[in-house]
Structure 1
């Protein structure tokens, strides 16, 4: 178990890097060699003939590459698949870490920042057909890891899915489908990203934080406000502290409802004053991400619309001047 926890603590997702290749012409060379027009036309025609005759093979090669990529991915967006529980570890008094295993030659298949869906049986309906409870979760393991993924889950007394997870033993299986794309992060998409997380809402934030910090070409600044009930409820605090200490572009501010005598962070709910002081000011180069329990979402940004689209921005973020284009609700 100790070995398992050490591996999880060291795991840092690898960011997706995008680059454009190709040679560059030197337009400053006044003595450049020029071909006659007829030669250019002949070469151009030959190139066109080669492309037209070979393009079916190129398309076929792309299709083969796409199929091979799909075979290397463990998830299926259209089909529920069983993943076996390998091990569990207690992270806090009400939060557990669950490691699920699969084919060690495959990757899970998640982008930054996407999630997966889990489902568990919940009796039968009036017609005798099985009913299920379905919940989304964001893994905290490296997206490039092969053969396993880790879920950090807070177990609520009335939580149907979290209680189901808590009842699992190594060797049991959970049905999973995905990925479900949320915010598609790309390096340097914004100069400054602000984050407001509550409880286990830290998981998509951590996915993006590690993607940014892992990429030396990503200069994005990150400001995280992380709210919890008590200091003992702060998930992955040691990991966040290490990341903030070693990366000057990451700033983390903790606040708790019930501070202890030795607590040195903030106390109480996240207020407008905390947002103004701790997050980047509203601008076209600013993005604010929000993830947490419904009560917090309503207070900070407003909940999503009934059709699960982003909906209007309300609450503290609206008061602070942020618009719908500047806010993303997980």
Structure 2
């Protein structure tokens, strides 16, 4: 199963759609569900603590127009881990289950909060660490969602993920709407992602390429430390090859001897050559670590509102209306 998941994590959409055509297997713990398109690396930069009473079970009463939703924006919901597998030197793939008659309830582009217990405070209340993540599966997938998590040695949330075993549960609350994407909302969408900031980018890319009526032109600049840190590269390359409206450019800080992509931080020249220029029908979306955000667009405000535009994008003539910071 671990080998199968690693292959699925790197596979192209067609391969993913066919991977489970033979139906469930007795030792999969539920992985017989049709596998949707793996789309994104789970993101999230900061964490904070939150005290709350008892966890709640999956709430099936959240119905709208006759539909049930697994996610609940007002309650913590438990999702059971079906299986996990390592897909790179520091990344694991996790699949969680929910009622297959319900929809997950996640729109493009949005995420949700997860929490991990961190012990009790002086008053005996449970302390939690919270992190936002974006599922990497198709939002319309039935009965499951997938998270691709980078495991950091000192990451409280990622270490919690690393400790989970099949049958364990994860507390989730959401969704949290970020950018409300609609087909053809812009003629051109430029993307600059760093590391785990690829999450919302791939969520949008998947929505565009699976919709034959969406003609949006997408250009992605994806920055990483090294070639080995580029997750889902095979999928990105396959999508770019099979969809003329998607172009992908990679840049790394520490290139290997055979590396043929960009080298170093995202530069003015990379943006000018790789992204659509400033225009009313252009939107540039940015997501990455704080240092990169400051360099490219300026970070968001402390209250997580968009904040003033600065950095390379402002220098190149983009306006605040043309840029969205995840």
Name the TM-score, length of structure 1 as normaliser.
0.81
Match of residue 291, structure 2, among 292, 295, 310: 295
Structure 1 counterpart of 2:244: 248
For residue 68 of structure 1, what is the aligned residue in structure 2? 66
SS where residue 317 of structure 1 aligns? helix
**Structure 1 residue 276: Cα displacement:** 1.1
Over 3 Å counting, the alpha-carbon distance change for 1:321 and 1:7 in structure 2 is: same
1:213 aligns to 2:209 (yes or no) = yes
Count of matched residue pairs = 279
CA apart distance, 1:243: 0.2
**Hey, what does 1:279 align to over in structure 2?**
275
CA–CA distance in 1 between the matches of 2:138 and 2:124? Answer: 40
Larger radius of gyration: 1
8 Å Cα contact 1:95/1:155 also seen in 2: yes
Structure 1 counterpart of 2:168, from 172, 175, 188: 172
Matched, 1:12 2:50: no
Deviations 1:41-60 (A, max 9, x none): xxxxxxxxxxxxxxxxxxxx
Alignment of 1:132-151 (within 5 A): 132-151=128-147
CA contact (8 A) 2:6 2:86 kept: no
C-alpha distance in structure 1 between counterparts of 2:37 and 2:93, whole Å: 16
Matched, 1:186 2:156: no
**Is the contact between residue 13 and residue 144 of structure 1 (CA under 8 Å) also seen in structure 2?**
no
RMSD: 1.7
Question: Residues of 2 paired with 1:270 and 1:125: CA distance?
Answer: 43
User: What is the CA–CA distance in structure 1 between the aligned matches of 2:175 and 2:302, rounded to whole Å?
Assistant: 22
TM-aligned CA distance change 1:102 to 1:126, over 3 Å: same
Q: Which residue of 2 aligns with 1:157?
A: 153
Distance 1:74 1:136, change over 3 A: same
Residue in structure 1 matching 2:127, options 104, 107, 131: 131
Structure 1 residues without counterparts, runs of 5 or longer: 15-63
What's the offset of the Cα at 1:6? Answer: 4.9
Q: What is the match of residue 116 of structure 1?
A: 112
Name the structure where helix makes up a greater proportion of residues. Answer: 1
1:93 aligns with 2:89: yes
Please tell me whether the aligned partners of residues 13 and 211 of structure 1 are also in contact (alpha carbons under 8 angstroms): no
Indicate if the aligned counterparts of 1:300 and 1:315 stay in contact, CA closer than 8 A. Answer: yes
